[in-house]
Chain A
Amino acid sequence: MITRRHLLGTAGAGAAFVGANLAFATFDQAAAEIANIDAGLPDGTRGEAAMERLPGKQPLIKLTYRPPNYEAPIDYFKTPITPNDKFFVRYHLANIPEKIDAKTWKLVVGGDGANGTAEFTLADLKKLPAVEVVAVNQCSGNRRGLFLPHVAGVEWGNGAMGCARWKGAKLKDILVKAGVKPEAVEIVVDGADGPVLDKTPDFVKSIPVAKAMEDTTIVAYEMNGAPLPHLNGFPARLVVPGWTGTYWMKHLVSIRAVTKPFEGFWMKSAYRIPIGKFPGARFASQESIGPNTPITEMMVNSLITTPSEGSKIKSGKTAVSGIAWDGGAGIKSVEVSADGGKTWQAAKLGKDLGKFAFRPWSADLSIGKGAQKIMARATNAAGQGQTTELIQNPAGYHHNLYSSVAVTGA
């Protein structure tokens, strides 16, 4: 059997490669893999990751088939809105409904922190006042694969994120219909997907009531003007702008207001970070039931999208561009360096799509001859920036080192 590692090692033999993989003969898979699979990932990841297509999607970088974990190559971030068919896919557990019928789908709302219960069809949700928000959905573990030393988990490169215009009903309006009580502390959300084994903890999450009541926390039924792709949570998912993707429950079917901290595995044990190492909102009610504190807001971060890693460019003035984002304070400035961080200059910020969105930026940099390291660093309106040294934490969350690409000037 020909292994992926073997193919990567013989990428020059393009014709033989395409012949061996007829299903993917429509694009240059080998070239795409070399360009897109980050050199900093574990060797095993680099050996098995591959550009592959999921139903309804453009080629994404497959990390695992089941549950499906596919990230976007850096090229897909050249626009501040990520198209639906280029949006990454992430599941924790492999029992995923193949299809959900929007006509019979129901969202059930209740819990001991509510006076009653309420049920919503998709049509009911659409009757509530609609809110639109452009927001980044980024996996807590985006860039985990670039941690050194490596830590176990899904070994993401740069692309476990995307930014979309989400439209939906306010979670607040939904909770009010079920009569949420003042003593509710958390809102618990569950989706239609679940574990293969009955004994495996179902993926269930909670957010603080205060975050749930914000006007931009919505149950979204539209993504970039279209229904959500199935693999991004059709027909409706929770959108928690500023907070990492773990809270953005897909295929949402249940919402419960609760008067005690929710103790499920995915809150109590997983998705936790050391207290005091990162800025970001504290999830106080959860701190009484488990170690440390749950991950919440995204860190300030940036990504250079042009030029690409390893490219050969003409020395002299070169256009450098990319995106920056944070947990909702909004990006205030981006600086770039042509000399590996010795000197910095301001980049020009592009269109502002809102404080939760990717902020495009660009700059003309003077590139010397030979090996060069282009870097970028962003600062948000709260004065927070990116880091020069990794902030180690057991699960490899919140990677926000300055971004860099190595190029050769000719």
Chain B
Amino acid sequence: MRYTLIGAIMLGLAMPALANEKPIQLKKADGLDKVEGNCAACHSLDYIQMNSPFPSAATWDAEVTKMIKVFGAPIDEADAKAIGDYLKKNYGS
């Protein structure tokens, strides 16, 4: 079933599905603000830590592309590049 929650997304609010969610602190580095501002709308950021440090650069690029093309994440090109660079540098192999 679908719900329209675009309003909340536009405000950049993370929406915990459950009250027990704790903040995730990813590595502080260039691009972290773009990761937090885009990725956390749909999923908690522990997804990134969990999938590390094994992904190759190509794997992280493919993940970012999948989020945009398949899952419809509204991320502009500049942010997508910043996110990809951040993931490759900080959570890649």
Which A residues are within 8 Å of any B CB, using their own CB?
Answer: 1, 3, 42-45, 47-49, 52-55, 62-68, 91, 93-96, 149-150, 152-155, 190-202, 253-254, 265, 269
Contact = CB atoms under 8 A, between A and B. Distances in A.
B12 to A, nearest CB: 13
Interface string B1-44: 11111100100001111111110110000000000000001111
Nearest to B23: A1
A65 B2 contact: no
Contact of B42 (A191, A196, A269): A196
Given A43-B53, A265-B70, A195 B2 contact: yes
B1 A192 contact: yes
Nearest to A231: B18
Given A67-B17, A193-B1, A201 B51 contact: no
Interface of B: 1-6, 9, 14-22, 24-25, 41-44, 46-55, 59, 63, 70-74, 91
Contact of A150 (B4, B49, B54): B54
Contacts of A269: 70
B86 to A, nearest CB: 14
A194 B3 contact: yes
A52 B18 CA distance: 12
Nearest to B70: A265
A269 to B, nearest CB: 8
Main SS class of interface, A: loop
Contacts of B59: 152
B18 A68 contact: yes
A154 B50 contact: yes
Contact of A198 (B4, B50, B52): B4
B15 to A, nearest CB: 7
A8 B74 CA distance: 37
A54 B20 contact: yes
Contacts of B91: 44
A191 B1 CA distance: 6
